[in-house]
Amino acid sequence: MAAALSAEATGVSRILLVERTNQLGGVLPQCIHRGFGRGYFGEDLTGPEYAERFIRRIVQSHIRVLTRTTVLQLNRDQTALFSGSAGLTQVSFTRCILASGCRERSIGSLPVWGTRPAGIFTAGAAQKLVNLGHYHLGSEIVILGSGDIGQIMARQFVQAGARVVAMIEQKAVLGGLARNQRECIRAYQIPVILRATIDEILGDRRISGVTVRHLDTGYTQRLECDTLVTALGLIPEQELTDPLRQAHGLPDWLSLCGNCAYIHEIVDSVTTQAEKLGATCGQGESI
């Protein structure tokens, strides 16, 4: 949204914003905690509040928006293939800004033994299910990894009456922002096990526990739980660029924006980067 608005401000008159979900804002609508906008707006906003400020500007602009529409393919002839309510659609453009965000690294990326029971979620999926779907995910929760979303969800689980058995981190220190360590982990006295990982998932139909291996000593212990949440890091979502990559990189008409380009710590820096990128678009271009 910030890139599109910035491009319009430079005089670009034909801008199409394509979103695969039914609302704008990316992951922000599910981030009901505060901490957004401190750098950009000088205010402490929730994710939905931050997104809404840009959505209002989009509504008041001349930018065309397609929601519930998935970009299936970007082509070298500067066309894009969409799938939406109207079926398959192909459009042409002079510039493309890809702001597809990132995806979470799942438990399947680790050499973990055991079964595949219910009760295992990535931190982002847990956040969406709890905040937007109002689901109760479990009562005894183990969190593997210490990314920001994992720390925020640890606090939220405790606030909802669940018990976080432990947050397990393979490094010697927690990850994420210092403020999340302070406001989530220390403030809510979340037990932390450093220099450790999970070797095995226990349980049949529903997870019943995990086997934790301490990396420095090799000692293993069993933790009982009914839910496992993973916060193992984020991967920029660049799949649409794969057919376009050449020896010298991407074509000059394609730009990557936000977490699609690299993982940002805060949304404020995403917005700033997007606005700078949108400002490089010139009059007469279609984006």
Phi, psi torsion values for 41, nearest 5 degrees? -100, -15
Q: Note the pLDDT of residue 30.
A: 96
Q: Note the pLDDT of residue 249.
A: 85
Tens of pLDDT, residues 5-25: 999 999 998 999 999 999 999
Q: Note the pLDDT of residue 245.
A: 86
Q: Note the pLDDT of residue 284.
A: 82
Tens of pLDDT, residues 126-143: 999 999 999 999 999 999
Q: In this model, does residue 167 exceed pLDDT 80? A: yes
Query: Could you please report the per-residue DSSP string of 77-140?
Result: TSEEEEEETTEEEEEE-S-EEE---EEEPPGGGS--EE---B-EEEHHHHHHHHHTT-----SE
Q: What average pLDDT does the segment 42-65 reach? A: 97
Q: Note the pLDDT of residue 247.
A: 67
Q: What average pLDDT does the segment 170-194 reach? A: 96
Percent of the chain with pLDDT over 90: 93
Q: In this model, does residue 38 exceed pLDDT 90? A: yes
Q: Note the pLDDT of residue 103.
A: 95
CA–CA separation, 137 and 124 (whole Å)? 13
Residue ranges and CATH numbers for the domains of the chain are: 2-101+237-278 (3.50.50.60), 104-233 (3.50.50.60)
Residues with Cβ within 8 Å of residue 218, at least 6 apart in sequence: none
Average pLDDT, the chain: 95
CA–CA separation, 152 and 36 (whole Å)? 13
Tens of pLDDT, residues 240-287: 999 998 767 899 999 999 999 999 999 999 999 999 999 999 888 899
